[in-house]
A and B are shown apart, each in its own frame.
Chain A
Amino acid sequence: MQEIMKWNGWGYSDSRFFFNKKGQAEFTGKRYKLSGLIIPALKDWFESTFGASLQHKTPPILNSSAVHPPTLNETFVEELKSTGIPFSHDAEDRVFRAHGHCLHEIFALREGKFGRVPDMVIWPNCHNDVVKVVELASKHNVCLIPYGGGTSVSSALECPPEETRSIVSLDTSQMNHILWIDEKNLTAHVEAGIVGQDLERLLNESGYCTGHEPDSMEFSSLGGWVATRASGMKKNIYGNIEDLVVHIKMVTPRGVIEKSCQGPRMSTGPDIHHFIMGSEGTLGVVTEVTMKIRPMPEYQKYGSVVFPNFEQGVACLREVARQRCAPASIRLMDNEQFKFGHALKPQVSSIFTSFLDGLKKFYITKFKGFDPNRLCVATLLFEGDRERVLQHEKQVYDIAAKFGGLAAGEDNGQRGYMLTFVIAYLRDLGMDYYVIGESFETSVPWDRVLDICQNVKERIVRECKDKGVQFPPLSTCRVTQTYDAGACVYFYFAFNYRGLSDPVHVYEQVEHAAREEILANGGSLSHHHGVGKLRKEWMRETVSSVGLGMLKSVKDFVDPNNIFGNRNLL
């Protein structure tokens, strides 16, 4: 994996955006639908949104030699050798596992700056290997940081700078097998290092799927999902990670924790799975998970709806949730994101398609009177057997029509979901041209969705101005999940940092302010990204002092010597 991925940016090395000699944006590689295509509108959007210019470039500095030599615990290394578990203290291996994908982490890498990085990397092959490693680490007082797919956006993988012990990155990537599939109970027992797309592919070969598709699924791992309480795009059908797991095995300094049976629900005191899920690597390493599986859906259909404004769109989503008829996925983008999506349309091949596009635009803006600066779009994904999908589709479109929504075609919907996977690559393009940005999320009761969207976006704009950002930022949001009692809201935020001496600091201040605003508006600290170190200052007010004490006492019992010393969460 490490060979085919960027060490200082998102995703595969062969896939990236760049501006060609004609100034047109292109996406390289062969992996995505957008790969190899020219995206003509991106440059204009990019320049007009950020005030950025192709003349002003900030290419990354390639310098991976400035890594501090490792601090090794000799006796630990000696004993480890005798177990035969592979390990390395090669600089490149260590740097690769020293970070997640927060802006400040990637920005520092691009500038060739490295803070504390793990002193060594270990690749256990199975549960028993992990048991041995954890025993040795406890014995020799070595700090362990579990590493799955490395897609964290909460500073969870950052090595605490104050850590004086030898830090060992425990890479689970070799534990990537499906151990068994139980078709009678529709469960699969899987090693926790498996990456999302491999899990789906392998299950698909047997005609099954988990249906768990977080946006990071190309790279993120099953163990990571469990450790952060992940959420998948299609949770409306399949559920979030906590609904999907049936059994978890975790290795802690105290020993292995697991339940004795696979009953679908138990009344045996507080569910110990809930100490594990969201523990963010502070208690141990998840090694094996039994997960629910489903037969692969017979039929999938994308769709999209255009609303005259965001308010109507939210009202529609709320009604869909009230009637509990949400499709596999339903997402509502605001006007800025709609425009952004538009800018990412690949070059159309025929005059006829572009004529049709023009006609559509005319119909919506002129005939239906939608204001192009206010309209917004919802993307939909239906799944199931064909007949039911069509029926379901009609039900949702009927509701949408009550809120002024117009069906806007499958293409728009599909492109919306494709963007989910390439958007992370776009940040690297932005960083080539003085533009930095990131996304963050929250969950909030229905009655506050509109207010939180408006206030957080405005706060971002205002903070940028106050902090001396010279150009108006991109500040946009979308509603990405619906629940009975609320929704998940995703914010994207990016700005052109030309003229700022310390852009990352400004960025962090703005993000901090935005999070304060979220909390002040009744939003949660996180819906699925987790807390890590980035958000732990707000844990006490989020779960109360008693709540924090409860979590601490669990940590104290399970890991009294802080072997799992990434210092996330608490």
Chain B
Amino acid sequence: MASKAVYSHRDPMLKKRDDFEDILEERRNSSDLRYALKCYTPVVYKGISPCKADALTNMVLQSSHLHYVISQVSKETGRAVDDVQDEASAILEEMAQRLQLSTIRFFAFTLSKVFKTLFRSICVNEEGIQRLQQAIQEHPVVLLPSHRSYMDFLLMSYLLYTYDLALPVIAAGMDFMGMKFVGEMLRMSGAFFIRRSFGGDKLYWAVFSEYVKTMLKNGYAPVEFFLEGTRSRTSKSLTPKLGLLNIVMDPFFKGEVFDMSLVPVSISYERILEESLYAREMLGVPKPKESTSGLFKARKVLSQNYGSIHVYFGQPVSLRSLAEGRVNRSQFSLVPRHIPKRPSEEIQNFVNDSAYMLVRAQEENMVLKPWVLLASLLLQNHHQSQAPGQKPGMALDELTERVVWLRDLSRQYGAFLHWPDHRAPSDVVSSSLSLHPGLVKISEGRVQLALELAGGDVGPKESRSADTTPEEELLSRAVIVLSCASYRNQALHVFLRPALLALAIHAAASTKKQEVFYSFSFLRNMFSNEFILVPGATVQDFEEACYLLVKTGALQITQQEVLVTERGHRTIVFLTSMLDPFLQGYQVVCRFLCEEATEELTEKQFIPSIRRFIIKHLLAGRLRYTEVLSSDLQKNALAALLRLGAVQKLKGVDQGTLKVNTVMVNSLEDTLGGKLPTQKVVVARL
């Protein structure tokens, strides 16, 4: 089990983080107009005077890389070179950004107004800004923000403008182009547009990669893109997409730049604008196609309070140091550098590991609000109190006591928790709850999720009004649960490794360390599409989890055995409950595939049919977690099964048809449910 992880195991408590400054404070005290028209003179890479967007496109069209691909395409298709050349120009036209300072100034003005209405504060770590400023002067910079909202990239540009830093060019999905006016506005504020899929299109790939590389190499502007590829609808970090990272790293591998700074940026929202939109999307209410009018409808959000935003600019990572001893750059000496080549396995592994390392860096610097902990506790309580005869919700003081316990635990695990220590805990709890009136309610001194439809606080059966079907009612409750879950998810990365260990202890056949490890690595492998788990770092993760649980007194680990201590019980229960919905969810997916998957089940039909299956089980009371309705979880589970080879995607005539290996899926389900020892499966799979 040779592990070659890029990060090293260390005490999370020792993480040192910068302080924040609220940038809205100044906006509230001085003129927005003057701010939008301020003198803007950012420092640039090695003092290069930035060229015009036109000059940039010319450089791309004249590059030997593009020339090579154009003549290759022309030879293969028999089209005239000029014709292909024109197509390349057209692609570039469609793609290219046209950054204009005037547009930025327009946004600086309007966003100031919008932000002040929506948010209490926008907090930025200014030391991070200073590090970034330094980095921009030394080497080309790649900005890698987390992606939770449409707001992200406007916010990023807004911040960089505020701090007089070079404005980035941003890789954006083509779907924005649908919004005509907005699309153009974004283009003029530095967005360039890429098609969502262009698999085999050589020419498109060439134009696109050359465009990005040209901007980067010449220090034209920092390049910004989202490692996660798309907005995370669940607030969990998404497993990274590697395409763009491959492209930006290429100039370094080929010696065209000396080094490059990769800057992870963590943007955390106290309340996400798209909160219930995301929940509906995952429940199958289709996502509205991005349209300008749709965006204006979102105006009603303007009347609400969305709390604060924290933006943390992480430590710039030198690609050179990252690649030191891992990438042999001389492998690029034997083919002219402008000829596109598939990256070697060594390179692919390196890019993949780096991507995970960077996403973890984003996670680590995500600010967590007290509400995140409250949501975790309330959800757990919700599921446990479903049993008949129990009073719904939790008493306010009990909740306060528990959240204080959780606060201390999460701090010990290294969470970047923003808890106002100078205020009384009960104060913190009630003000946190008040920011989410749509999700929680307090009645008779008890706090519970705001699940019931208007008119009743009794059990689900009685509350059904005449014109809603049980299914609709279930879905509307699920919206609330999923919204809450998205807040809990923000804290998942803090507890993930200890929680996997807790589950493993639970599932392992004995307390033998070796068996617990087998169980741990099975679960870790199973969930590696769901959470950010660095490939190949099983041992480190296991050790980190052991370290944390031992340090906090929940476990005793001897040479051979792993034992839960008396006082560790509470922690272990909390941790297992944290992952229980996922554990159950994956089992349901397995059961569905065994029971319902017919010969013709295609990938396309997978989500709708499993949704029907789950709704049926939920309504029948055979399933506890509404959360399992999340299409995100279902897709991740399927991806895991495909990865493990338990399900196969057929090619050829039956394209997209899923072929289920029932025996294997069954045994995975049993192992997840603790009915089968893990050892065999693990050995077979790892």
Contact = CB atoms under 8 A, between A and B. Distances in A.
A452 B255 contact: yes
A522 B258 contact: no
A229 interface: no
B390 interface: no
Contacts of A454: 258
Interface string A506-523: 000000000000011110
Given A447-B336, A447-B337, A541 B258 contact: no
Given A447-B336, A447-B337, A541 B255 contact: no
A451 interface: yes
Contacts of B256: 451
Contact of A541 (B329, B330, B336, B337): B330
A72 B487 CA distance: 83
A522 B333 contact: yes
A448 interface: yes
B329 A521 contact: yes
Interface string A450-477: 0110110011000000000000000000
Interface string B295-332: 00000000000000000000000000000000011101
Interface string B319-358: 0000000001110110011000000000000000000000
Interface in A403-462: 447-448, 451-452, 454-455, 458-459
A452 B258 CA distance: 9
A519 B255 contact: no
Contacts of B255: 448, 451-452, 455, 520-522
A454 B259 CA distance: 11
A63 B358 CA distance: 57
Nearest to B324: A516
Contact of B329 (A447, A458, A459, A520): A520
A448 B256 CA distance: 8
B51 to A, nearest CB: 15
Contacts, number: 24
A158 to B, nearest CB: 27
Q: How large is the interface on A (under 10, 10 to 19, 20 to 34, 35 or more residues)?
A: 10 to 19
Interface in A457-511: 458-459
Nearest to B254: A451
Interface in B254-307: 255-256, 258
Nearest to B331: A520
Interface residues of B, number: 10
Contacts of B329: 520-521
B190 to A, nearest CB: 28
Contacts of A448: 255, 337
Contacts of B332: 522
Contacts of B333: 522
A447 B337 CA distance: 9
A455 B258 contact: yes
A519 B331 CA distance: 10
A536 B181 CA distance: 63
A458 B258 contact: yes
Nearest to B336: A447
Nearest to A450: B256
Nearest to B332: A522
Contacts of B336: 447
A185 B515 CA distance: 84
B337 to A, nearest CB: 7
Contacts of A521: 255, 329
B258 A520 contact: no
B488 to A, nearest CB: 44
A459 B258 contact: yes
B617 to A, nearest CB: 57
A520 B330 contact: yes
Contacts of A447: 336-337
Given A447-B336, A447-B337, A519 B330 contact: yes
Contacts of A455: 255, 258
Contacts of A520: 255, 328-330
Contacts of A458: 258
A358 B332 CA distance: 47
A64 to B, nearest CB: 43
Contacts of A459: 258
Contacts of A522: 255, 330, 332-333
A447 B68 CA distance: 15
A521 B331 CA distance: 10
Most chain B CB within a 10 A radius of its CB, from A448, A452, A519: A448
A491 B329 CA distance: 20
Contacts of A451: 255-256
A332 B337 CA distance: 24
Nearest to B334: A522
B415 to A, nearest CB: 34
A520 B332 CA distance: 8
A452 B256 CA distance: 9
A447 B332 CA distance: 13
B394 to A, nearest CB: 55
A541 B337 CA distance: 20
Interface in A524-548: 541
A521 B330 CA distance: 6
A454 B256 CA distance: 9
| Most-contacted residue by chain A among B328, B332, B333, B337 (CB, 10 A) | B333
Highest count of chain A CB atoms <10 Å: which of B330, B332, B336, B337: B330
Interface string A99-133: 00000000000000000000000000000000000
A541 B255 CA distance: 19
Interface string B488-528: 00000000000000000000000000000000000000000
A459 B333 CA distance: 19
A519 B333 CA distance: 9
A527 to B, nearest CB: 15
A537 to B, nearest CB: 14
A451 B258 CA distance: 8
B519 to A, nearest CB: 43
A454 B251 CA distance: 14
Nearest to B323: A520
Contacts of A519: 330
24 contacts: A447-B336, A447-B337, A448-B255, A448-B337, A451-B255, A451-B256, A452-B255, A454-B258, A455-B255, A455-B258, A458-B258, A459-B258, A519-B330, A520-B255, A520-B328, A520-B329, A520-B330, A521-B255, A521-B329, A522-B255, A522-B330, A522-B332, A522-B333, A541-B330
Interface of B: 255-256, 258, 328-330, 332-333, 336-337
Given A520-B328, A521-B329, A522-B330, 16 more contacts: A447-B336, A447-B337, A448-B337, A451-B255, A451-B256, A452-B255, A454-B258, A455-B258, A458-B258, A519-B330, A520-B255, A520-B330, A521-B255, A522-B255, A522-B333, A541-B330
Q: Which 10 A-B pairs have the closest CB atoms?
A: A520-B329, A522-B333, A521-B255, A451-B255, A458-B258, A455-B258, A519-B330, A520-B330, A455-B255, A451-B256
